Every structure is written in structure tokens, then in C-alpha cells.
């Protein structure tokens, strides 16, 4: 049985300030919890309907009613199980620093970030580094749209200027490639196996401070009349061309 204090606590985790204070976040639904159980992410507590609990007899969890699940859920249609999870503990300067890294500058939409994480997982990106003013990776919409890839792709938040200076010292031969309207057509660009791909804000692109660190820019040619591409879609196209 779930208590009133637990209900309030779980609902409070929808707020970024509380998530970071407690260093916990919420995962909802059968798919995401199933992926969670196969990961190395530490789980604080699982709350589930009777049917889900009976199907997982060896897992410690708190049985709750559909009414209580709807009270703690942030989904329009609650889905059988919800877990409170500890934030990931990863170090930025680990052995995944080389290879293909994705840098996201001021990505504000949680759905876009979640989708980009999923694409990074698909295309074998080592890690994602975000500017400090990007959306929180533990935002419920980011977790949902990542479809479990968030457990596998480390995401970090940094001061861009400090990060790029350190990256260039550590990997002086690696290119820093940015997506820009005035860049070289993507199909004609020479993209190495290792490097840094920079994607900018949905509304404003890559800011000037970050642009100063780019060694190459690429663009996806516009063959129609659309004003712009969604940043998640553009990231997927560039990652495909890069890894191809």
C-alpha cells in the first residue's frame, strides 16, 4: 500500500529542483521499466498494479490500485507500473571521450532530447554533452521519448567554453563539426570516424560562442519549401551520414 507522503513525494519529483535535490527521477510504463530492469541503473522503489506484480514475483515492489497509480502518474493513461530511480553516476572524463560525441547547444524541447538520445543509441554515439541551459535529461518527457536509450547513453551538462577548450586539448586532431544553414552539403562533406558533432537550438541554431570552436560546418540541403528541420530529425540524418 502506498502512503499519502509517498504519493506527494513521487508527484514532487516532476519538478526539476526536487529531482536534483533528491537525485531521483520517475520511470513509467511496462516498456521503460522492463528496459530499466535490464540496465545497471539503481532502483529505489517500484509501484505496480496487482497483475504486473504477479507477473514479476521475484521483484520487490509495492502493490497499488489503479486509482493510486493515476494519482502518482504523469501520463495521460497510466501504464501498470512506475519506478522511482536514482540518477545516473557517470564521470565525464571516462574512456568514452573519444569516438563520436554529440554536443547539444540549448536544446529546449524534452521530446527532441529524448528522441536524440534514442538516435544516439541506435547509431553508436559514445556520449551526449549538453550546454547547461539545455532541457533536463530527467524530465519525464525526455525519459518517455528516449524509450529506454537514456539508460545506455551517458548525458552530461557542461559550461560550453570550458568543455570545448578541454576537448581540443585532449583530442587536437578531432574535428568539431556543426550543423549550419551555410555549411557544406552533407553528402559532400568528409566526416571522420572520430569527432564531435554539434547541434544547435531548435529556434536559434548554434550560438556564437560555440560557433567559434567549430572546425567544419555541414548542412542538409533543402529541396523543398519547408523553413527548417526539426533538430531531432536533422540529428538523425547527420548521424546516419556520419556513421555510413
Helix, strand or coil, per DSSP, at residue 4: helix
Residue reference for cell 551538462? 157
pLDDT of residue 99: 83
Cross-strand bridge partners of residue 48: 63, 81
CATH architecture designation of domain 4-86: 2-Layer Sandwich (3.30)
pLDDT of residue 97: 53
- Fold classified for 100-243: Alpha/beta knot (3.40.1280)
20-59 residue pLDDT tens = 999 999 999 999 999 999 999 999 999 999 999 999 999 9
For β-strands 216-219 and 195-199, DSSP reports them as unpaired
All structural domains of the chain with their residue ranges: 4-86, 100-243
Question: What parts of the chain have a pLDDT lower than 50?
Answer: none
174: which 3 cell numbers?
A: 578531432
DSSP 8-state class, residue 24:
E
Amino acid at each position: 500500500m502506498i502512503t499519502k507522503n509517498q504519493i506527494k513525494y513521487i508527484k514532487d519529483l516532476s519538478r526539476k529542483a526536487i529531482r536534483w535535490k533528491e537525485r531521483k527521477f520517475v520511470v513509467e510504463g511496462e516498456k521503460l521499466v522492463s528496459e530499466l530492469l535490464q540496465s545497471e541503473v539503481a532502483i529505489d522503489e517500484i509501484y505496480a498494479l496487482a497483475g504486473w506484480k504477479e507477473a514479476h514475483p521475484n521483484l520487490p515492489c509495492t502493490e497499488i490500485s489503479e486509482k493510486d497509480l493515476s494519482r502518482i502518474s504523469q501520463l495521460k493513461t497510466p501504464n501498470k507500473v512506475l519506478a522511482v530511480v536514482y540518477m545516473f553516476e557517470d564521470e565525464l572524463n571516462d574512456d568514452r571521450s573519444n569516438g563520436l560525441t554529440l554536443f547539444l547547444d540549448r536544446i529546449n524541447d524534452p521530446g527532441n532530447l529524448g528522441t536524440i538520445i534514442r538516435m544516439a543509441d541506435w547509431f553508436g554515439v559514445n556520449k551526449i554533452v549538453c550546454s547547461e541551459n539545455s532541457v533536463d535529461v530527467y524530465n519525464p518527457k525526455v525519459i518517455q521519448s528516449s524509450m529506454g536509450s537514456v539508460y545506455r547513453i551517458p548525458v552530461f551538462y557542461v559550461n560550453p567554453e570550458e568543455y570545448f577548450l578541454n576537448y581540443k586539448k585532449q583530442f587536437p586532431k578531432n574535428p568539431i563539426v556543426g550543423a549550419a544553414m551555410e555549411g557544406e552539403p552533407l553528402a559532400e562533406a568528409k566526416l571522420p570516424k572520430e569527432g564531435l558533432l554539434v547541434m544547435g537550438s531548435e529556434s536559434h541554431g548554434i550560438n556564437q560562442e560555440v560557433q567559434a570552436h567549430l572546425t567544419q560546418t555541414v548542412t542538409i540541403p533543402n529541396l523543398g519549401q519547408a523553413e527548417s528541420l526539426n533538430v531531432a530529425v536533422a540529428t538523425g540524418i547527420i548521424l546516419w551520414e556520419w556513421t555510413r
